[in-house]
Structure 1
Amino acid sequence: MGAVIGDLLPLAVGVAISPIPIIAVILMLLAPRAGGTSAGFLVGWLVGIAGATTLFLLLAGFLDLDSSAAPSATASWIKLGLGALLLLLAAGQWRSRPQPGEQPTLPKWMTAIDRFTAGRAAGLGVLLAAVNPKNLLMCVAAGTTIAGGSLPAGQTVGSVVVFTVLAASTVAVPVVGYAIGRKRMAGPLESLHTWLTAHNGAVMATLLLVIGVVLIGKGLGGLL
C-alpha cells in the first residue's frame, strides 16, 4: 500500500493546489451565508473526488491493470496518455495567463457565489471535482494507480480515502479555520484570494507540467 500512496501523493497535490476551488470557497467564506455554503461546497468537493476516483478504479478493474509483478502495458499506456493530456492543458494554461499589467479574469459564475445556497454550493463542489477536466484527469490517474496496486479490498478503500482527504485538504482547512475563528480569517482570506486570482494560470500550468511529466515517466518505466 505504501508504494501506491507514494504514487498518489503528486496527484493529490495536483488537485489540492488547484486554484479555482480554493478561490470559490474563499468567496463563499466572504459571503453573507458563509457557514452553510462553504460546508456544502466541502461536502460536494469530497464526494466528487471520492466518486470520480472510485468510478475509474472500478472501470480499471475491467482492464489488465492488476499485475502484482510489474505495471501492466495497459496501465502504462493510460499513464502516458494522461501525462500527454496534462502537458497540453499546462501549455494552454500558460498561454492564457494574464500578461503583466493585464487584469486577470475569472469564470462568470464566481460573481454569483454570494447568492449560493448550501445545496448549490455542494453541486458546484461535485462539478469542480468530477467534471472539471484538470481535476478529472487527476482522479482518472489516481483510480488507475490504485487499481494497478493489486491491493486487498480494505487497503483499496483506504487508498481512496487517503487520496480524497489529501486532495480536499486545501478546501477543508479554510472552512474549518473559518468555523473556529471567523474574525481572524477575513484578512488572510482576502490576501490569498487576491494572490490566487493573479497567479491562477501560472500555478496550474506548473502543476500540470510537473504531474504530466511524472505520469509520462511512470508510463515509460512500465513499458521499457
Structure 2
Amino acid sequence: MAQGIGEVLTFAIGVAISPVPIIAVILMLFSHRAKVNGPMFLAGWVVALGAVSSIVYLVSDAGDASTDSTAADGVSWAQIVFGVLLLLLAGRSWRNRPAPGSEPRMPPWMAGIDAFTPGKAFGLGVLLAGVNPKNLLLAAGAGSALAVVGPSTTEAVVSLIVFVVVGSLTIAGPVLFHLTGGDRAKASLDLAKGWLSVHNDAVMTVLFLVFGVNLIAKGIPPLT
C-alpha cells in the first residue's frame, strides 16, 4: 500500500501546485454564482484527474507493465518522453515570464469567468485538470508509475484516490474556505490571487524542471 501511494504522491503534489487553476477558482469565488460555480469547478477537476490517472493505469496494467519487460520498457520510455516535454514547458514558461516591474498577463478567458454557468465551470475544471499539458503529463505519469509497481486492485484504488485527493487540495481548500470563512476568506483569497498572478511563471518553471527531471530519472534505470 505504502509503495503505491509513494509512487503517486510526488505527482499529486505537482498537480496541486498549479497557479492558474487556483487563480481561476478564486475568481469564480468572487463571481455572483460563487456558491455553485466553485464546487462545480472542483467537481470537474476531480473527475478529470481521476479519469486520466485511472485510464493510464488500466492501460499500463493491462500490458503487464510490472512483469513484462517489453511493456515495462514502454512505460519507461513514456516517462522519459513526459519528462522531456515538461522540460520544454519549463523553457517556454521561463521565456514568457513578465519583465521586472511589468504587469503579469493572465489568460484572456479569465475575464469572462464572472459570466460562467455551472456547466462551463465544470468544463473548465475538466480542461485545467485533464487537458492542461502539465497536469495531463503528471496524471499520466502517476498512472504509469503505479502500474510498474504492480499493486493489488485495492492498493491501486487507494493510491489513485490519494492522488486525486492530494492533487485537489489547493482547489478544494479555497472553495471550502470561501463557503465557511465569510469576509475574512475573501480578503485572504484576494491576496493569494495577487501573489500567484505575479509569481505564476516562476512557480511553473521550477515545477516543470523538478518534475521533468524526476520523470526522466524514473524512466532511465529500468532501461539500463
Q: With structure 2 as the length reference, what TM-score do the two structures score?
A: 0.95
User: What corresponds to 2:111 in structure 1?
Assistant: 111
State the percentage of identical aligned residues.
Answer: 45
User: What corresponds to 1:187 in structure 2?
Assistant: 187
The one-letter amino acid paired with 2:148 is G
Contact 1:68 1:150 in 2 (8 A): no
User: What corresponds to 1:135 in structure 2?
Assistant: 135
1:67 and 1:207 map into 2 onto residues whose CA distance is 31
1:189 and 1:68 map into 2 onto residues whose CA distance is 48
- Please state if 1:45 is matched with 2:57: no
2:94 and 2:43 map into 1 onto residues whose CA distance is 31
1:130 and 1:4 map into 2 onto residues whose CA distance is 21
User: What corresponds to 1:89 in structure 2?
Assistant: 89
Using the TM superposition, give the Cα deviation of residue 188 of structure 1 relative to its aligned residue in structure 2, in angstroms.
0.8
Deviations 1:121-179 (A, max 9, x none): 01110111111111100111011012112111111111110000000100001101111
Using the TM superposition, give the Cα deviation of residue 68 of structure 1 relative to its aligned residue in structure 2, in angstroms.
9.0
Structure 1: gaps spanning 5 or more residues: none
Contact 2:27 2:113 in 1 (8 A): yes
Structure 2: gaps spanning 5 or more residues: none
Q: With structure 1 as the length reference, what TM-score do the two structures score?
A: 0.95
Using the TM superposition, give the Cα deviation of residue 64 of structure 1 relative to its aligned residue in structure 2, in angstroms.
4.4
- Please state if 1:66 is matched with 2:66: yes
1:168-187 equivalent positions in 2, closer than 5 A: 168-187=168-187
1:8 and 1:143 map into 2 onto residues whose CA distance is 8
2:67 and 2:20 map into 1 onto residues whose CA distance is 37
User: What corresponds to 1:75 in structure 2?
Assistant: 75
The one-letter amino acid paired with 1:16 is A
Using the TM superposition, give the Cα deviation of residue 67 of structure 1 relative to its aligned residue in structure 2, in angstroms.
2.4
2:77 and 2:62 map into 1 onto residues whose CA distance is 15
Contact 2:9 2:162 in 1 (8 A): no
1:141-160 equivalent positions in 2, closer than 5 A: 141-160=141-160
Give the superposed CA RMSD.
1.6
1:3 and 1:86 map into 2 onto residues whose CA distance is 24
2:135 and 2:163 map into 1 onto residues whose CA distance is 13
1:202 and 1:186 map into 2 onto residues whose CA distance is 25
Contact 1:68 1:149 in 2 (8 A): no
